[in-house]
Amino acid sequence: MTQLKYKRILLKLSGEALCGDDAYGISAETLSQIASEIKEVHELGVEVAVVVGGGNIFRGVAAASAGMDRASADYMGMLATCINGLALQDALERIGVPTRVQTAINMHEIAEPYIRRRATRHLEKGRLVIFVAGTGNPYFTTDTAASLRAMEIHADVLLKATQVDGVYDKDPKRHPDARRFEHVTFLDVLSQELRVMDTAAISLCKDNALPIVVFKLREPGSVKRIVLGEQIGTLVSAPQAR
């Protein structure tokens, strides 16, 4: 039997991850690749939940900075995550992964309402669960929603998929001498203002000792290697986990 380091995971995907090489929207090819990666992990017996962002369709913070009411902009961003969640559900079910979408904003015709016990039961029965519409409240990011949902379902780890292969001391795209960390503490992230997740999300994970692994989504097999215990990307955790 395969030895798993993490048996229940929450995977955080940005909306931009679904764009592929496009500037916006959903790339069918990229969506299929992500679904295949998730299926590979699901078939190991890992219980998988996903939180997906909406930045490939609409960014509430950007709209608010341009003068739109922040609450209205955030609600529009939440609706964008629903579109992405349904697209990911379709891609997963086409390759045989039973999937449920749960939304923090009620829309009974297209998704189940978020109910913690029901989500946990789906996971126990081998169904993948996609959480959409963030927390259902404006002024909270999907990073915060991912941290909150991960704790509510008692996930073993939060996997944060990014465009780079971990956490750096400065932007590696702009600084060739940027140094990648294999491990940082929650306090390191907060005190050094490392760009992992927003402050509310990091604080939630810190207060509840929920480890985060930041990794590059476009490296094939990364999620599988993480759940099998391989050192991939950057681990963000309490100091004693070194």
Q: pLDDT tens across 206-235, in order?
A: 999 999 999 998 888 999 999 999 999 999
User: Residue 52: is its pLDDT beyond 90?
Assistant: yes
In a domain, 108, yes or no: yes
In a domain, 1, yes or no: no
| 3-class DSSP assignment, residue 42 | helix
Mean pLDDT over 6-27 rounds to: 90
User: What is the residue range of 40's domain?
Assistant: 8-241
Total structural domains in the chain?
1
Binning pLDDT at 50, 70 and 90, where does residue 63 land? confident
In a domain, 3, yes or no: no
Q: Residue 27's domain is classified under what CATH number?
A: 3.40.1160.10
In a domain, 67, yes or no: yes
In a domain, 2, yes or no: no
Mean pLDDT over 59-70 rounds to: 83
Q: pLDDT tens across 88-101, in order?
A: 999 999 999 999 99
Cβ burial 174-209 (10 Å sphere, 16+ → b, else e): eeeeeeebebbbbeebeeeebebbeeebbbbbbeee
Q: pLDDT tens across 156-181, in order?
A: 999 999 988 899 988 888 888 888 99
Which pLDDT belongs to residue 61? Answer: 75
Which pLDDT belongs to residue 170? Answer: 83
Cβ-Cβ contacts under 8 Å for 36 (sequence gap 6 or more): 95
**Residue % of the chain over a pLDDT of 70:** 98
- How many CB atoms are located within 10 Å of the residue 140 CB? 18
In a domain, 27, yes or no: yes
Cβ-Cβ contacts under 8 Å for 146 (sequence gap 6 or more): 10, 12, 51, 131, 158, 160, 197, 201
User: Residue 42: is its pLDDT beyond 90?
Assistant: yes
